[in-house]
Amino acid sequence: MRKRALRPLPVWNIESVLGAFTQIGVKAVHAHALWNWLARNPRAARWDQVRWDEHVGLPARARELLVAEYALYTSSVESAETASDGSTTKLVIRLQDGHAIEAVQIHHAGRLTLCISSQIGCAMGCSFCATGTMGILGDLHAGEILEQLQHARARAPVRNVVFMGMGEPLNNYAAVLESVRVMVDNTKFQLSPTRVTVSTVGIVPRMVQFGADEPRVNLALSLHAPTQATRESIMPAARAYPLPALLGAVDAYLARCRAGKAVMIEYIMLRDVNDAVADAHALADLLARRPVVINLIPYNPTDATPEYARSTEERTMAFLKVLYEERGLRTFVRRTMGSEVASACGQLVKDTQRPGRERAVRDIEDAAGGRAPRKPRRRGGAEQPAAAAAATAAREPTLASGAHERAAALWLALRSRIPAVRFEPVHCLAVATLVCALGARVFAPRAGMSGGGGLAGLASVWPRHPSA
């Protein structure tokens, strides 16, 4: 329905290239060798930059076909805006047919997470989302999805990919599945499957299908409400898939996955809509006994959705307290700045659809928040474990910048490396606080620095904080 005709086609349209090679009698191995080379050389933007002499045995007719019908890039980076603190870079990518999409690089502790788009606009119409007000303008080809990754890799190595940009990924299922498989292919982009996350608003049949097709990668569910009535009021798509069916799909997906895997539950905190303590209990009831990680996302008001406001910190903390402390659910509060760029589903403003418009793209925070940050503020895609987040306000200033992040990193590292043991964030926080305190005392004088320098000196022996 939304298939877009491109000419030339992206060379990363894997199925297309393989089909074309078959038609002219060229073995698939030659195509795979080329993709391997391209993955290692993302800065090669044109065919004349390809080292053809390294593709021994590639028939001339295959090369002629590639040059005539396919392009290394069908899109281009129109702008790249980096946040004042350098933590995020937003790439506005102009597609061959004039549409614009967005990918966001999130830098954290020397590693990079890329948030990418799967569609142009979105048909889901979530009432709190600026992208949802655009409607759907088209599906991306698998090659266009992968070009976002290539554009980012041409700038810096990418460690994690999250499908949380524009669009509902499972509504462009074939292209998303194809692109995910290329990302985790050991002969191509070589990303770890555990570092690729597909986020969905909850397309039930495709969630189940996704578990069957690609159980290695992560699935995130944008739940956003604990009851069917509230969910329908903010997410029209919820009418098609009631909560029991949605949770059934979560269970079916998990049944396909390895033991110990969890589904990320995304929950945007909307003031007086879904952020009451009763909502937290309802959410806990809904998710009880399921392997989930709940991600509470502070909302940024937007010009496109002025009826919503961000929950107060007090309400967010009360919500968190119920989920984590009272109900024992693994829960995070996403940081409010850079994390907003990467966390929500794509919120590219409509202006970006106009080629050549000066400063056509506002930040995702602008789309979601209606304004750019007025001063440098802390940004990042990282999340805080519940205990750490709850403790943030009460911590000593000299420890505030170190302990909770180390605790988060330690907890997540232990959880991923030793999944059979359930480590509690609060224990990691205690260890991190103790070691950070020792670090401030032991290392700072020797380094001639303040406590922060002491903490920095410990960085080399602590696990880094995951950026997704």
Considering only residues 193 to 212 of the shown chain, the ones binding ligand SF4 according to CB under 6 A are 201
The answer to the question of residue 311 lying near ligand SF4 (CB under 6 A) is no
Q: Which residues of 445-467 are buried (b: 16+ CB within 10 A; e: fewer)?
A: eeeeeebebbbbbbeeebbbbbb
Pairing relation of β-strands 331-334 and 383-385?
antiparallel
Nearer to ligand SF4, 117 or 209 (CB): 117
The answer to the question of residue 122 lying near ligand SF4 (CB under 6 A) is yes
- SS3 of 152-193: the string is HHCCCCCCEEEECCCCCHHHHHHHHHHHHHHHCCCCCCCCCH
Q: Is the dihedral of CA 50, 71, 102, 234 positive or negative?
A: negative
Could you confirm whether 78 is annotated as catalytic?
no
Region from 87-95, 120-128, 155-163, 357-365 binding ligand SF4, contact rule CB under 6 A: 120-128
Measuring CA to CA, how many Å separate 316 from each of 74, 267, 349? 43, 11, 27
The answer to the question of residue 346 lying near ligand SF4 (CB under 6 A) is yes
| Candidate list 106, 129, 294, 364; residue touching ligand SF4; CB under 6 A | 129
Report the DSSP beta bridge partners of residue 271: none
Q: Which residues of 39-59 are buried (b: 16+ CB within 10 A; e: fewer)?
A: bebbebeebeebeeeeeeebe
CA-based nearest residue to 114, from 104, 129, 125, 123: 104
- Dig out the tokens for 454 from the structure: 């002491």
Catalytic hit among 115, 122, 345, 436:
345
d(CA 102, CA 125): 18
Could you confirm whether 129 is annotated as catalytic?
no
Q: How far is the CB of 84 from ligand SF4 (least distance, A)?
A: 26
Nearer to ligand SF4, 13 or 117 (CB): 117
Nearer to ligand SF4, 88 or 200 (CB): 200
Eight-state DSSP code of residue 270:
B
Q: How far is the CB of 291 from ligand SF4 (least distance, A)?
A: 23
The answer to the question of residue 126 lying near ligand SF4 (CB under 6 A) is yes
Q: By Cβ distance, which residue is nearest to ligand SF4? A: 345
Nearer to ligand SF4, 72 or 220 (CB): 220
Query: How many Cβ atoms from other residues are within 10 Å of residue 123's Cβ?
Result: 16
The answer to the question of residue 368 lying near ligand SF4 (CB under 6 A) is no
The answer to the question of residue 345 lying near ligand SF4 (CB under 6 A) is yes
Region from 117-125, 372-380, 384-392, 398-406 binding ligand SF4, contact rule CB under 6 A: 117-125
- Dig out the tokens for 359 from the structure: 């400063």
Nearer to ligand SF4, 305 or 311 (CB): 305
d(CA 11, CA 43): 14
- SS3 of 310-322: the string is ECCHHHHHHHHHH
The answer to the question of residue 131 lying near ligand SF4 (CB under 6 A) is yes
The answer to the question of residue 34 lying near ligand SF4 (CB under 6 A) is no
Region from 15-23, 121-129, 178-186, 315-323 binding ligand SF4, contact rule CB under 6 A: 121-129
The answer to the question of residue 31 lying near ligand SF4 (CB under 6 A) is no
Q: How far is the CB of 264 from ligand SF4 (least distance, A)?
A: 14
Residue type, 261: K
The answer to the question of residue 132 lying near ligand SF4 (CB under 6 A) is yes
Region from 95-103, 118-126, 150-158, 256-264 binding ligand SF4, contact rule CB under 6 A: 118-126
Residues with a catalytic annotation lie at: 102, 345
List residues binding ligand SF4 (CB under 6 A).
Answer: 122, 124-126, 129, 131-132, 166-168, 201, 345-346
